[in-house]
Amino acid sequence: MANIMKAPGSARVDCETCQARVDGLCAGYSASTVEFISGYRTNDRHLKAGQDLLNLGGPCDAIFNLVDGWMFRYTILADGRRQILDFALPGAILGFDSPLGATITFGAQTLTDVVVCVIPHKALGPLSQRQPDLGLRLAWLMSRERSLSFDHLTSVGRRSAHERIARLLLELFVRSRSGWTGYQIEEMHLPLTQEHIGDATGLTGVHVNRVLRDLGKEGILKFSYRRLSILEPDKLMDLAGIDQELLQSWTGSGRSEARAQGDLAEGCRQAA
């Protein structure tokens, strides 16, 4: 997975080849602009799978640009119940949460080995002075995360267990590919346990298992031991209640030749 990490720990992420430039804060910027932004970085951080990036209750004074690996954000209630809020893929920004110095109210944990590059909150002001569309871009990024969160809220609030799970798996698949036609039979490595899926969908691990088993029996998909196979894309999309265009909004969109409207960088360009 993490080919960037060959030289473990010490190596500094090279902005030229950074995965996060595909669809994140630096997407579509020229080399010189990226260079400029990079000047404000402090040291990268490398984490093993299963670690927390920032600890609950502590302060947070930087944003983290997820360069490689998968993470998730979560809250823990007093009695131990956990809710997973969203999954972060390369290009995600973490740590832009409570304005400055305020204590963190939700955690962020790695699902795989991970690399993040770090930009102190303090740098955001100066950065956005010299690169004025950066603030807007960050705003669009946040807005997209909020939309995703709205989507999850709708799932958990109003959809059946089967719908929720179908939808989540589909979302993660599509986002990890940055797009999908929706017609191909596909397979991928999904670094989640059934417990994770339960905590993300507001269900029990046990119940997730039963549903997964159902979906398997119906030949729609298989998921066990971290391997997901989508066997009947159309049935799955139908069950999940997904229209093709929604698929796009989950990623920066079409990537390739800027599939018209949905693209983040495009959005900023037009707005400017």
Partner DNA sequence: CGGCTATTTGAATCAGATCAACCCGGGTGG
Partner DNA sequence: CCACCCGGGTTGATCTGATTCAAATAGCCG
Tell me the site size for DNA, rule CB under 7 A: 20
Evaluate whether 115 touches 71 at the Cβ level (below 8 Å): no
| Concatenated DSSP letters of 64-78 | EEEEES-EEEEEE-T
Q: Which does 262 bind (CB under 5 to 8 A by kind): a second copy, DNA, none?
A: a second copy
Kindly state the smallest distance separating residue 225's Cβ from DNA, in Å.
6
Evaluate whether 20 touches 26 at the Cβ level (below 8 Å): yes
- Per CB under 7 A, which of residues 174..203 are in contact with DNA? 193-195, 198, 202-203
Nearer to a second copy by Cβ, of 14 and 61: the residue is 61
Kindly state the smallest distance separating residue 17's Cβ from a second copy, in Å.
26
- Using DSSP's 3-state secondary structure scheme, residue 105 falls into coil
From candidates 22, 249, 254, 255, binder to a second copy by CB under 8 A: 249
Helix axes 205-217, 194-201, angle to 10 degrees: 110
210 binding DNA? (CB under 7 A): yes
Q: Which does 229 bind (CB under 5 to 8 A by kind): a second copy, DNA, none?
A: none
Structure tokens at 158: 């109003």
Structure tokens at 88: 């972060």
Nearer to a second copy by Cβ, of 146 and 227: the residue is 146
Structure tokens at 140: 């669009």
- Which candidate, 2, 96, 12, places its Cα nearest to that of 53? 96
Q: Which stretch binds a second copy (CB under 8 A): 29-37, 44-52, 224-232, 263-271?
A: 263-271
Kindly state the smallest distance separating residue 16's Cβ from a second copy, in Å.
26
Q: Which does 206 bind (CB under 5 to 8 A by kind): a second copy, DNA, none?
A: DNA
In terms of Cβ atoms closer than 10 Å to its own Cβ (0-12, 13-18, 19+), residue 164 is buried
100 binding DNA? (CB under 7 A): no
Q: Which does 61 bind (CB under 5 to 8 A by kind): a second copy, DNA, none?
A: none
Q: How far apart are CA 142 and CA 264, in angstroms?
A: 11
How many beta carbons lie within 10 A of that of residue 48, not counting itself? Answer: 11
**Rounded to an integer, what is the distance from CA 170 to the centroid of its chain?**
13
128 binding DNA? (CB under 7 A): no
Q: Which residue has the tokens 């950065």?
A: 127
Kindly state the smallest distance separating residue 241's Cβ from DNA, in Å.
14
Backbone angles phi, psi at 150, to 5 degrees: -60, -40
- Per CB under 8 A, which of residues 34..53 are in contact with a second copy? none
Per CB under 8 A, residues contacting a second copy are: 73, 75, 77-78, 81-83, 85-86, 96-103, 105-106, 121-122, 124-126, 128-129, 132-147, 149-150, 152-154, 156-159, 199, 201-202, 241, 245-246, 249, 261-264, 266-268, 270-272
